[in-house]
């Protein structure tokens, strides 16, 4: 059984908890997630099973979308509502200042990762150091906020509801904290829901209860997105048995040996199938010193 299941991770479970749960349901060891979602957050968590684990790194690098709530006037050591309160301020801010501050984060920005994160420094995870009361210097990372929208401002409860579309590596907790600093009253993230990860969306996600039921009814295959469907935007090539042997042996193959080679240019990534329709691999067109074009193996699934 190979493919990806779009899971609706519940609040209170870690991403690793979900992976362990699915291993137990499927009795398959090769299971992995495609990007950690905070234990207190809920939402889309694509899970790779079997050969699909080979593309977990590619999926984790895709853009994400979130709905988050920003609580003004209170900062915490974890930058979310699960941490200890560090400071509290009275909030007397206009709608215009809030919106202007929020929208100023759109675009390519630098973000300092929070101490409560799984990033390693000298072999130790930051959150392990943070729990010991140790704070270390973190280098800022470049991220991209493709879009950010203010959906609602509740002045009675000092909350701001946001939709954020961002690149890999963005910490929404830190974004909320930084927005609070920009506004001048401080803030933390009080709610987080991941609504999209790559092409996997919230409305298509299934609950772990649904997954467990399907496992008991031997219907798990109905939930799987086949590996090749993850790359439907890439052109596909069908190869004959001779070319298939070369690919399976790890050899680069001249594009001249490919029958349906129209549109193949340097840099093109394509899906390779054999004559029986079996998905073999992802390959990329490269140019060698002889100026010839060749298919170079990127990810194998044979």
| pLDDT tens digits for range 69-108 | 999 999 999 999 999 999 999 999 999 999 999 999 999 9
Q: How many CA atoms lie within 13 A of 60 on its CB side?
A: 16
> Which two tokens mark 33?
């997630």
pLDDT at 122 over 80: no
Domains and CATH numbers, the chain: 3-61+200-229 (3.30.2350.10), 64-197 (3.30.2350.10), 234-300 (2.30.130.10)
Q: With contact defined as beta carbons under 8 Å apart, do 15 and 9 qualify?
A: yes
> Which two tokens mark 100?
């202007």
pLDDT of residue 250: 85
Single pTM value for the model:
0.87
In this predicted model, what pLDDT tens digit does every residue of 5-28 receive, in sequence order? 999 999 989 999 999 999 998 888
In this predicted model, what pLDDT tens digit does every residue of 192-220 receive, in sequence order? 999 999 989 999 999 999 999 988 888 88
Three-class SS of residue 180? helix
Q: How many CA atoms lie within 13 A of 117 on its CB side?
A: 18
Residue 137 or 272, more confident: 272
Query: Is residue 38 annotated as a catalytic residue, yes or no?
Result: yes
Laid out side by side, the sheet with 269-273 consists of 236-238, 269-273, 279-287, 293-300, 253-254
pLDDT of residue 11: 92
Per-residue pLDDT band at 164 (split at 50, 70, 90): very high
Q: Which of 2, 38, 80, 178 is catalytic?
A: 38
**Which conformational region is residue 275 in: left (phi greater than 0), alpha (psi within -120 to 50 degrees), or beta?**
alpha
The closest of 39, 85, 42 to 188, measured between CA atoms, is 85
CA 243, CA 297: separation in Å to the nearest integer?
13
CA 14, CA 37: separation in Å to the nearest integer?
7
Three-class SS of residue 202? helix
What average pLDDT does this structure show over 151-165?
A: 97
pLDDT of residue 127: 78
CA 45, CA 56: separation in Å to the nearest integer?
11
């Amino acid at each position: 059984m190979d493919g990806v299941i779009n899971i609706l991770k519940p609040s209170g479970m870690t991403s690793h908890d979900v992976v362990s749960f699915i291993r137990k349901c499927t009795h398959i060891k090769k299971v992995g997630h495609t990007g950690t979602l905070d234990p207190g957050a809920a939402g889309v968590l694509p899970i790779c099973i079997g050969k699909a684990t080979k593309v977990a790194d590619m999926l984790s690098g895709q853009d994400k979308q979130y709905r988050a709530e920003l609580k003004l006037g209170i900062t915490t050591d974890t930058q979310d509502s699960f941490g200890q309160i560090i400071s509290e301020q009275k909030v007397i801010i206009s709608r215009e200042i809030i919106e202007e501050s929020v929208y100023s984060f759109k675009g390519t920005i630098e973000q300092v990762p929070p101490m409560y994160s799984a990033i390693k420094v000298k072999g130790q995870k930051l959150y392990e150091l943070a729990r010991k009361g140790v704070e270390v210097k973190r280098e800022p990372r470049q991220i991209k906020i493709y879009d950010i929208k203010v959906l609602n401002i509740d002045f009675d409860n000092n909350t701001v509801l946001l939709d954020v579309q961002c690149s890999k590596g963005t910490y929404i907790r830190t974004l909320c904290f930084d927005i609070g600093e920009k506004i001048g009253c401080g803030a933390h993230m009080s709610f987080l829901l991941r609504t999209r990860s790559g092409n996997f969306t919230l409305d298509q996600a299934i609950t772990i209860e649904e997954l467990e039921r399907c496992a008991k009814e031997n219907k798990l295959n109905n939930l799987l997105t086949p590996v090749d469907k993850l790359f439907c935007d890439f052109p596909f090539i069908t190869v004959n048995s001779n070319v298939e042997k070369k690919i399976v042996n790890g050899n680069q193959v001249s594009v001249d040996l490919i029958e349906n080679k129209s549109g193949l240019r340097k840099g093109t990534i394509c899906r390779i199938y054999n004559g029986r329709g079996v998905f073999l691999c992802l390959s990329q067109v490269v140019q060698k010193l002889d100026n010839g074009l060749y298919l170079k193996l990127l990810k194998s699934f044979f």
